């Protein structure tokens, strides 16, 4: 019979006088044939796979330095399949709890999108809100709850409150995240059984360093996302990324990070800031302004704020990378003085500039934490972030799911604008890159 492997047994039929099929004899159940279906493995059971997610979040100060931890367990065996933790920067305890829940659900979904999940947390607030018994009123938690509710279809996830002493695994991971203060953003540790179920792609992922793995996981999700969101997703958090205007170092193409002289805007830079302010006022969409703490960004932000009548908030997470001993030098001067360090820096995102500067991997961890915190704080709002070359490129890189080397393949002019939108389900859309049309006479 076409389509069956050699040796497969099947019922034969013969035709009656009018062409109707009839059985040659009484039906009987055939034993499994050893040669049939040679590519199929034995079926262990027909039930849906079940996971337990235990999650916890904490904030030392509320708001204060915060982090979450979560673990995915096999409900049948109790085996630990995935562990995840992440430092979040300064957020509230409840936001950290929700971030832990969201990370745990996404980790379970990565293992098996068709599974059923039972969530256990010691946060009464999160359990009651996600169970639908309490209303969600706080604007910081609404988008996180919405995103958590969309990971699995309705009815697939149940929630249970447990005492803190029964949530020690996730609590330990959350404390590790807070202790790290951003030096390690995420750890995922699938067991051998989980790797076998997840396939070769998940197995390869376990060899990636923690900070890089987290960036790659976020990137992969962004790549898989469409360029738009469903109508019921709600308005995204939209970040208008404005690079500061020129300083005396900009046209000379000198390294100018957070560890240098902190130059002010030049006359050209001030004019560029004014032109950017005029363009943004004409659009009329900016609702909040945040800036890096460095002088050149604060001056650029002030020019826009004066035109729009808005206040400026200083956000330390938007600061430029620290280029160590390379501050104030040109690329050629660095290559002449520190050739080995420069070669390593160009090829390895973990490499630091000479003298203990900030690596691109560390910058990515910092920007990812800043992004997540701001997306939660400004859900549905349009926010102007006045910052620098490396942070803007990193925002774009993570949104696109591009590798670290893509930082060297983007060009950002002084006072240029880029735009990234972030949706409640965690997806991102790059809408604009290096727009300088507002600078033309």
The structure tokens listed for 122 are 């010691």
Q: Give the residue-averaged pLDDT of 274-283.
A: 93
pLDDT digits (tens, 9 = 90+) for 29-45: 444 444 333 333 333 44
Going by pLDDT thresholds of 50, 70 and 90, the confidence category of residue 25 is: very low
Residues of the chain with CATH 3.30.420.10: 50-207
Q: 268 or 77: whose pLDDT is higher?
A: 268
Q: Which of 54, 97, 214, 244 is catalytic?
A: 244
Q: Which pLDDT score is estimated for 234?
A: 65
pLDDT in tens, 289-310: 999 999 999 999 999 999 999 9
Q: Which of 36, 12, 33 is nearest to 23 (CA)?
A: 12
The DSSP-derived string for 74-99 is ETTT--EEEEEEEEEEEE-HHHHHHH
- The pLDDT value recorded for residue 397 is 94
Tens-place pLDDT, residues 82-108: 999 998 888 889 999 999 999 999 999
pLDDT at 218 over 80: no
* 3-state class (DSSP) for residue 174: helix
Task: At 220, list the tokens.
Answer: 């992969």
Residue 320 a catalytic site member = yes
The answer as to CATH 3.30.420.10 being correct for domain 50-207 is: yes
Residue 65 · residue 317 · CB < 8 Å: no
Q: Are strands 312-314 and 288-291 parallel, antiparallel or unpaired?
A: parallel
Give residue 282's pLDDT: 87
The Cα–Cα gap between 35 and 10 comes to 12
- 296 annotated as belonging to a binding site for a ligand: yes
Backbone Cα Rg of the chain? 27
Q: Which of 97, 214, 246, 320 is catalytic?
A: 320
Q: Which residue bears the tokens 């745990």?
A: 104
**Residues 231-439, CATH architecture:** 3-Layer(aba) Sandwich (3.40)
pLDDT of residue 19: 45
- 213: pLDDT strictly greater than 70: no
Annotation marks residue 288 as catalytic = no
**What are phi and psi for residue 414, nearest 5 degrees?**
-60, 135
Predicted local confidence at residue 35, as pLDDT: 38
Of the listed ranges 57-71, 169-183, 326-340, the least confidently predicted one is 169-183
pLDDT confidence of 209, banded at 50, 70, 90? very low
Expressed in percent and rounded to 5, the helix, strand and coil fractions of the chain are: 40, 20, 40
Domain limits, CATH 3.40.50.1240, in the chain: 231-439
Predicted structure pTM score: 0.52
Give the pair of three-digit tokens for residue 204: 């390869």
Per DSSP, 355 falls in state T
């Amino acid at each position: 019979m076409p389509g069956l492997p050699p040796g497969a047994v099947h019922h034969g039929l013969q035709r009656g006088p009018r062409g109707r099929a009839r059985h040659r004899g009484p039906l009987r159940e055939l034993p499994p044939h050893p040669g049939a279906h040679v590519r199929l493995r034995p079926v262990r059971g027909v039930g849906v796979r079940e996971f337990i997610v235990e999650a916890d979040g904490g904030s030392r100060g509320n708001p204060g330095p915060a982090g979450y931890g979560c673990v995915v367990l096999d409900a049948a065996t109790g085996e630990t399949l995935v562990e995840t933790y992440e430092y979040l920067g300064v957020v509230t305890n409840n936001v950290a709890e929700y971030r832990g829940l969201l990370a745990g659900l996404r980790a379970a979904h990565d293992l098996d999108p068709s599974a059923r999940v039972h969530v256990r947390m010691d946060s009464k607030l999160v359990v009651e809100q996600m169970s639908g018994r309490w209303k969600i009123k706080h604007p910081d938690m609404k988008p996180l709850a919405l995103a958590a509710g969309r990971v699995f279809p309705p009815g697939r996830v149940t929630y249970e409150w447990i005492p803190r002493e029964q949530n020690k695994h996730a609590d330990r991971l959350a404390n590790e995240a807070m202790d790290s203060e951003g030096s390690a953003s995420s750890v995922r540790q699938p067991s051998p059984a989980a790797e076998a179920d997840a396939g070769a792609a998940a197995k390869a992922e376990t060899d990636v360093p923690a900070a890089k793995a987290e960036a790659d996981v976020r990137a992969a999700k962004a790549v898989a996302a469409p360029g738009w969101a469903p109508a019921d997703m709600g308005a995204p958090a939209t970040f208008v990324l404005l690079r500061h205007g020129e300083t005396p170092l900009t046209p000379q193409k000198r390294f100018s990070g957070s560890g240098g002289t902190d130059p002010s805007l030049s006359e050209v830079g001030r004019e560029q800031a004014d032109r950017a302010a005029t363009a943004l006022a004409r659009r009329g969409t900016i609702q909040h302004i945040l800036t890096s703490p460095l002088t050149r960004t604060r001056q650029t932000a002030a020019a826009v704020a004066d035109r729009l009548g808005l206040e400026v908030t200083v956000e330390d997470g938007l600061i430029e990378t620290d280029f160590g001993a390379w501050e104030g030098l040109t690329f050629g001067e660095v290559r002449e003085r520190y050739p080995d360090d420069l070669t390593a820096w160009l090829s390895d995102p973990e490499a630091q500039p000479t003298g203990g500067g900030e690596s691109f991997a560390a910058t990515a961890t910092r920007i990812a934490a800043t992004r997540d915190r701001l997306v939660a704080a400004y859900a549905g709002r349009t926010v102007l972030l006045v910052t620098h070359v490396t942070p803007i490129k990193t925002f774009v890189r993570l949104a696109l799911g591009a590798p670290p080397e893509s930082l060297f393949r983007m060009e950002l002019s002084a006072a240029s604008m880029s735009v990234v939108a972030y949706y409640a389900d965690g997806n991102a859309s790059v809408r604009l890159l290096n727009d300088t049309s507002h600078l033309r006479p």
